[in-house]
Structures are given as C-alpha cells and as structure tokens.
C-alpha cells in the first residue's frame, strides 16, 4: 500500500492534477472538457492525465472519437483510510499530552 500512496500523493502534488481530480469527483468527463480550463498544450495536459492514471486515480475509455475519463474510487479510498489511521494516532498522542499537561498543572497547584 505504501507504494500506492507514494504515487497517489505524488500525483496530487500538482495543482492541475488536483483540479482534474476535483472535477472528476462530480462525474466522468471527456478529455477535451478536462483540458479546456487549463492554459497548456494538449500533449502537456495528457502527461498530467498519464500521471493520474499511473497512480491508479483515474481510468479512461475511448468510445468512437471521444476519450472519457473516470475517477477510480479505490485509490482515493486507500489514501483516505491511511489518513484516518494517521489522524487516530495523532489524536491519541494529543490526548495523552493533554492528560499530562493537566496532571502537571494539578501538581503545581497543589505544591
């Protein structure tokens, strides 16, 4: 899973790719529609799509002359689960730190 996460977060490191993922969260779209808001040549944009596809975040299908891109929820779910685990770890650590701070404060007030 770690290598999948590496590819996932590497793919999201670019604002163009984040914008594509955000758009695809609302539903599939043809490449031409995804490319439209970005001020770059189509070959450059296709490299961004390739990076997302390599990370397992999107898939595309060609029907006739139109290539439609779909989000792959599995990759996003894996990253979300990893983030939830990290959050639980840090919440437990912060709870322990808070308890320690309260204990120290009580001791200093009693002493």
For 39-47, the CB contacts below 8 A with 24+ separation are: 40/16, 45/16
Domain count across the chain: 1
Q: What is the CATH classification number for the domain harbouring 79?
A: 1.10.10.10
- Helix 2-11 crosses helix 42-54 at what angle (to 10 degrees)? 160
Joined tokens for residue 108:
């200093």
Count of H-run helices and E-run strands, the chain? 5, 3
- Which residue range(s) make up the domain with 83? 2-110
**pLDDT tens for the 111 residues of the chain, in order:** 455 788 888 999 999 999 999 999 999 999 999 999 999 999 999 999 999 999 999 999 999 999 999 999 888 888 888 889 889 999 998 988 888 888 898 888 886
């Amino acid at each position: 899973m770690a290598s999948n996460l590496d590819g996932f977060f590497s793919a999201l490191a670019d604002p163009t790719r984040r914008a594509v993922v955000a758009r695809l969260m609302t539903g599939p779209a043809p490449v031409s529609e995804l490319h439209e808001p970005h001020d770059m040549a189509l070959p450059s944009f296709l490299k961004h799509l390739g990076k997302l596809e390599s990370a397992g975040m999107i898939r595309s299908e060609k029907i006739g002359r139109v290539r439609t891109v779909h989000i792959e929820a599995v990759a996003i779910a894996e990253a979300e689960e990893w983030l939830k685990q990290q959050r639980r770890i840090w919440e437990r650590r912060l709870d322990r730190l808070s308890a320690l701070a309260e204990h120290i404060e009580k001791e200093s007030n009693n002493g």
